[in-house]
Structure 1
Amino acid sequence: MLHLMRDILGITDELNKSLQKKEQDIANAMLLVEVAKRRLQMLRDDGWDALINKVSTFCIKYNILLPNFDEPYVNSGRSRRKPTDYTVLHHNRVEVFCKIIDWQLQELDDRFNEVTTDLLHEVTCLNPVDSFSSFNIRKIMRMAKLYPDDFDEFSMNALENQLATYIIDVRDMDERFSNLNGLCDLSRKLVETKKNLNFPLVFRLVKFTLLLLVATASVERAFSAMKFIKNALENRMNDELLSGCLVPYVEKDVFINISNDTIVKTFQEMKPRRVRL
């Protein structure tokens, strides 16, 4: 089980690190999702023999007793007089090895289904890397339809025209947009050059894209933090207290950078009142 766990965590390690970043390169993150799915499927189809050889070598090295895979499997919660109707090999390969990998694949499919994957691929169309090589008006228009409160029918027609003008401007005409490394650089450059005023609908989409990337990572980090804060001993805390605890935990980098002088100054500015008991 431990060897299998190490193999699975190794397969998904790069993907997990990428998804925990506040500012994500979605194009590479989605590729890592597909890579993780493919490697997990390869492990399920062809990885059993390699795992058994690795476990056998480990057990022989440390004088650990190897199980006999041909014996009937006995559940630890049942009497040994009532063995199951399948072998130790079947239990370890089907009930453990295959089932755990299937759970991992199902988790990836649930989190990154077809709709979510399409949305994240549409987000990459605004990425300025490699001279806007991923730019695709059709996909960007499809993403804009997901924001009906901000893009009505009139705005959609105007957005399509703006996108056609925008891509010629920033890709072919203005050299200041030639060496951008991501959406953050694009957003800053649009403001610096005041092109956000020329292309307000495109700039609005860029802002929505940045919010989506940060919000996705923040939600993942917040749910991970909840496991530490709202545990079995503190499961009755209300939403206000939980929110107050999550903010400093999730954004601890901000609080760590606060100097002691700032804390002392803050307390000095506070005017505590004397309370007569």
Structure 2
Amino acid sequence: MTMVRATKVELQSLREDKWETFLESVKNFCVENSIEVPNMNDTIPIRGRSRREGQAVTYFHLYRVEIFCGVIDIISREMENRFSETNSELLTCIASLDPRNSFLDFDHAKLLRLAQFYPNDFSLMDQELLGTQLNNFIFDVRSDKHISELKNIGELAIKMVKTRRHTAYPLVYRLIELALVLPIATATVERVFSAMKIVKSVSLNVKTTLSVT
């Protein structure tokens, strides 16, 4: 999540402060490859409009606003959609279950917060009991080198079942299960929406073709 935040900041910095540097790099590339570089103050008809409408923009506007900033804005919006404030918090909470380095990232408060994201799986009573189970769980697993040497949450889930800790700490194990299911659920939802977009586009094209025909 730190990398995601850093990328967002870098994109904003690129958009606001690095156009000139980027343009100079492109110009050098064009010169080296014998590609003509247009005068940024010259005008060009607005894309998608008839030349007879007389509406034009400068090459500077086309490349700076419509293309350079436009692409960065698309990337930024996509990152905001995938890593919204809620999603970012959720992923950060899940990271607290990472068993590497003797559960170095374990965070009691974040795991309690993670349970609050799933009110259907954790009642208020469960959330109260979870706090105690987490305290006992972390003391237990840090004392067992075979668990503290695990590399990921999947291995942790398997080890808990093998050692029957999933019955000793059922609420903690429930959190682990949810953490493992989340990426699959998210990917499934994204695929559904992608399929919906494809179907919608195809239907629209078909309707347009039929109306023209």
- Whether 2:138 is the aligned partner of 1:167: answer yes
- Report the CA distance shift for 1:200/1:225 in structure 2 as closer, same or farther (over 3 A): same
Task: Tell me what 1:18 maps to.
Answer: none
State the distance in 2 between where 1:229 and 1:74 align: 33
Given that 1:73 and 1:87 are in contact with CA atoms closer than 8 Å, whether structure 2 keeps it comes out as: yes
Task: Tell me what 1:102 maps to.
Answer: 73
- Whether 2:92 is the aligned partner of 1:121: answer yes
- Whether 2:112 is the aligned partner of 1:112: answer no
TM-score by length of 1: 0.65
- Whether 2:79 is the aligned partner of 1:79: answer no
State the distance in 2 between where 1:156 and 1:69 align: 61
User: Which runs of structure 2 are paired with 1:221-236 in the superposition (5 Å)?
Assistant: 221=191, 223=193, 232=202
State the distance in 2 between where 1:109 and 1:197 align: 39
> Given residue 54 of structure 2, which amino acid in structure 1 is its aligned partner?
K
- Whether 2:172 is the aligned partner of 1:202: answer yes
Once the two structures are TM-superposed, the CA of residue 209 in structure 1 deviates from its matched residue by 0.9
Task: Tell me what 2:182 maps to.
Answer: 212
- Whether 2:141 is the aligned partner of 1:179: answer no
> Given residue 138 of structure 2, which amino acid in structure 1 is its aligned partner?
I
Given that 1:129 and 1:180 are in contact with CA atoms closer than 8 Å, whether structure 2 keeps it comes out as: yes
RMSD between aligned residues: 2.8
TM-score by length of 2: 0.82
Once the two structures are TM-superposed, the CA of residue 231 in structure 1 deviates from its matched residue by 6.8
State the distance in 2 between where 1:224 and 1:88 align: 34
Task: Tell me what 1:140 maps to.
Answer: 111
State the distance in 1 between where 2:95 and 2:122 align: 19
State the distance in 1 between where 2:113 and 2:20 align: 46
Q: Deviations over 1:42-62 (max 9, x none)?
A: 321333223322322333344
Once the two structures are TM-superposed, the CA of residue 220 in structure 1 deviates from its matched residue by 3.6
State the distance in 2 between where 1:228 and 1:102 align: 23
Once the two structures are TM-superposed, the CA of residue 184 in structure 1 deviates from its matched residue by 0.3
State the distance in 2 between where 1:232 and 1:151 align: 42
> Given residue 159 of structure 2, which amino acid in structure 1 is its aligned partner?
K
SS in structure 2 at match of 1:135: coil
Once the two structures are TM-superposed, the CA of residue 221 in structure 1 deviates from its matched residue by 4.9
- Report the CA distance shift for 1:148/1:75 in structure 2 as closer, same or farther (over 3 A): closer
Higher helix share: 2
> Given residue 87 of structure 2, which amino acid in structure 1 is its aligned partner?
T
SS in structure 1 at match of 2:51: coil
- Report the CA distance shift for 1:152/1:216 in structure 2 as closer, same or farther (over 3 A): same
Task: Tell me what 2:125 maps to.
Answer: 154
Task: Tell me what 2:209 maps to.
Answer: none
Number of aligned pairs? Answer: 205
Which structure 2 residue ranges, 5 or more long, are not aligned?
207-213
- Report the CA distance shift for 1:197/1:143 in structure 2 as closer, same or farther (over 3 A): same
Pick one of 27, 37, 57 that aligns with 1:56. Answer: 27
Q: Which has the higher contact order (CA 8 A, sep 6+)?
A: 1
State the distance in 2 between where 1:160 and 1:121 align: 18
Once the two structures are TM-superposed, the CA of residue 227 in structure 1 deviates from its matched residue by 6.8
